[in-house]
A and B are shown apart, each in its own frame.
Chain A
């Protein structure tokens, strides 16, 4: 038993969906439990083995002062630390607070805001500690999650692409919604990994896996606006689960600015 590497799963500010993705791996869980000792995973079991751990999967963003301390303890107890999901890698949907003053929201929502102890900004784990690998998605993809775990166990590089969702659509034979219908879609600037799920069901990509390394958000936004999308809607398109990812954050701010100042501030030269 002791020869098996130990796996720990940690939760920070999050919805638990990425942890559930691991539990959803029903066909592989028993095999996983043979390869690793699941030492700490409170979503699955209250029993917990003391650290240190060979592999820690971290879900969630840092959004409270206690989070900011606890992540350091997790890092110190982990040989390899992998962050999973949009919260852990980009600050998550709760990162919307980063565009506003979180204190204003607290007084609107809570009867006693003085009981709330949260940071002004929701931030990715990598803002606080060294991270060995980031797996993107909201939630992460089950196959990619298992691939990362297998790759780390086998000592190889995970086969996780960082190209666009378009490549998955084309490999699937899905007809492009942007070109054939004019449906707003973030696929061209969004990292693949979901299998191009939404376009296959006739919905534009929501950008759940965050920006690609080469994302040209300004050009896509320009094209969407030329097709009739209002700047305020273009801004919102980039401001969802990965609103804190630098490329999406910058574009949502640029479109918001454009909404206030008009077309003369267009970041892309008109054709």
Chain B
């Protein structure tokens, strides 16, 4: 590939697979821990990347409510799949962490207290989807944007380099077009890739858009050529094709008010007949942020404060003196759905949903939040009054 002139923010260039390898090497040389999609145990999860060979080469997924299957080794595509069960929140808001520990000190009666002071490396997310970038933006508001930012989250999240892979292959569970988070990347990235359809030899080229000065710096050493009209048109076709194929939809118009007005809707009880209260939807959700803090002691006298992911489906999560506030599955499911789609707006001035569809695929009994919201809209108690 040709003219390796310098690049700037908003430039659009084309690189090949070798270019992606060199981009990963460039990021590693700049001190980033390059991490991204890898195949493990029949699903696409996240792991360290040393080269494009570590990516899900030729993998395509079939997803539906309560079902996920991965077909491997189909072709040369590196990004021919939709999101799997892992989300980036685990990288910045770990499933389990020790907040501090205190140990008895010999001699004096005063315990020594140690804050968790691990120095996490700065991550480069390679191949994050546009909906995942939108999810990180929401998590930033929740965990870093309030009056009391979460120090652990901020420490891990600071300086993250983001290489987006725009989406050409949505799953049947995806509905990012409803939420305005994809399939194209619009903001929040350093570099945005779009995998173009294969050429005659089966290999792919990638249109790369430069989103930041450090994105330009990382790309400068990678062989590239300026994107031409044909390249940009091919990218547009990939993205419009993805939009066309995205069959699932969430009607968001008036949804916030609709759910707030239907807290006594019979649908909550009906869904509770199917809901397992297992919490999988909240755990795979890229924006669910509930945690539980526990103090534990051991026989040596060491005391530790642990924080770990929790879920609004865990009855202990709403336990206060006298019992749990939400003791039934219907109340837990209602809390989850109304928070995600309605009261999240009150709290954080955004929806809590990015349309990634994880909660649909990874619900063991296939409860579909788009179907639930539609069912409530269909039979809303306030509907007649509003239409009249």
Interface residues of A, Cβ cutoff 8 Å to B: 28, 31-32, 34-35, 146-147, 150-151, 154, 156, 159, 161-164, 166-167, 170-176, 178-182, 187-189, 202, 212-216, 218-220, 222-223, 268-269, 271
Contact = CB atoms under 8 A, between A and B. Distances in A.
A164 B309 CA distance: 13
Given A213-B315, A223-B66, A166 B280 contact: yes
A189 to B, nearest CB: 6
B316 A163 contact: yes
A214 B314 CA distance: 8
B277 interface: yes
Interface in B351-388: 361-366
A220 B316 CA distance: 22
A167 B279 contact: yes
A202 B300 CA distance: 35
B330 to A, nearest CB: 11
Contacts of A178: 66, 364
Interface string B129-143: 000000000000000
Nearest to A28: B299
A175 B43 contact: yes
Nearest to B332: A214
A188 B298 contact: no
Contacts of B207: none
Given A31-B300, A150-B298, A188 B41 contact: no
Given A176-B362, A214-B277, A159 B315 contact: no
Contacts of B308: 171
Contact of B278 (A34, A35, A189, A269): A189
B289 to A, nearest CB: 14
Contacts of B316: 161-163
29 contacts: A28-B299, A31-B300, A150-B296, A150-B297, A162-B315, A163-B313, A163-B315, A166-B278, A166-B280, A166-B364, A171-B283, A171-B308, A172-B95, A173-B86, A175-B41, A175-B45, A175-B85, A180-B42, A180-B68, A180-B70, A181-B42, A187-B278, A188-B364, A189-B278, A214-B332, A220-B365, A223-B365, A223-B366, A271-B274
Interface of B: 40-43, 45, 66-70, 85-86, 90, 95-96, 273-280, 283-284, 294-300, 306, 308-311, 313-316, 329, 332, 361-366
A159 B284 CA distance: 24
A156 B283 CA distance: 28
Contacts of B299: 28, 31-32, 34-35, 146, 150
B359 to A, nearest CB: 12
A188 B278 contact: yes
Contacts of B310: 163, 167
A214 B276 CA distance: 8
A215 B67 CA distance: 21
A34 to B, nearest CB: 8
A150 B279 CA distance: 29
Given A28-B299, A216-B329, A171 B96 contact: yes
Contacts of B85: 170, 175-176, 179-180
A28 B300 CA distance: 9
A204 B300 CA distance: 36
B362 A179 contact: yes
A218 to B, nearest CB: 8
Given A166-B283, A167-B279, A159 B294 contact: yes
A150 B313 CA distance: 28
B170 to A, nearest CB: 18
Sort A-B residue pairs by CB-CB distance and give the 3 closest, nearest first: A188-B278, A170-B283, A171-B95
Given A170-B95, A188-B280, A216-B275, A179 B66 contact: yes
Given A170-B283, A179-B364, A164 B277 contact: yes
A185 B311 CA distance: 20
Contact of A175 (B42, B276, B297, B309): B42
B69 to A, nearest CB: 7
Contacts of A175: 40-43, 45, 85
A222 B299 CA distance: 45
Given A167-B278, A170-B85, A171-B95, 7 more contacts: A32-B299, A150-B298, A180-B69, A188-B276, A215-B277, A220-B276, A223-B66
Given A146-B298, A150-B297, A180-B43, A164 B315 contact: no
Contacts of A31: 298-300
A163 B297 contact: no
Given A31-B299, A176-B362, A180-B41, A269 B273 contact: yes
A189 B68 CA distance: 20
Nearest to B294: A159
Nearest to A161: B316
B319 to A, nearest CB: 10
A175 to B, nearest CB: 4
Nearest to B278: A188
A173 B313 CA distance: 19
A176 B43 CA distance: 9
A162 B311 CA distance: 12
A64 B361 CA distance: 49
Contact of A173 (B90, B298, B306): B90
